[in-house]
Amino acid sequence: MEDCVFCKIRDGEIPSPKLHEDEHCYAVNDINPKAKTHILIIPNKHIHSIAKMEKGDETLIGHMVKIARDLAAERELRGYKLVFNVEKHGGQEIFHIHMHLLSD
């Protein structure tokens, strides 16, 4: 996707320190944090939103949840929220699936 900021970060066109990176996804700090810890976990595959997932994408989403759990454990977070905003009316601003890991 040519104009996708997350694809540009993935491809190194926009520099952003990655907290995690593997063949399926990467994680970065949110540039507009809504909590003390606000990390975005983003799949490498461009998927518009949860509403546009295709067969097999559920494995990728499960991997993202595992990475969120690992990042929370590394930071010794006592509790946290995992959030997907879905489509414009659900608060999604960047139309490439991403999960928010939030903790105070």
Note down the domain range covering 12.
5-103
46, amino acid identity: H
Give the pLDDT score at 1.
60
Per-residue three-class SS string for the chain: CCCCHHHHHHCCCCCCCCCEECCCEEEEECCCCCCCEEEEEEECCCCCCHHHCCCCHHHHHHHHHHHHHHHHHHCCCCCCEEECCCCHHHCCCCCCCCEEEEEC
CATH number at residue 78: 3.30.428.10
* Active site (catalytic) residues: 98
Tell me the per-residue pLDDT of 2-31, one tens digit each, with 9 for 90 and over.
789 999 999 999 999 999 999 999 999 999
Gap between the Cα atoms of 55 and 58, Å rounded: 7
pTM of the prediction? 0.94
- Domains contained in the chain, number: 1
Tell me the per-residue pLDDT of 31-72, one tens digit each, with 9 for 90 and over.
999 999 999 999 999 999 999 999 999 999 999 999 999 999
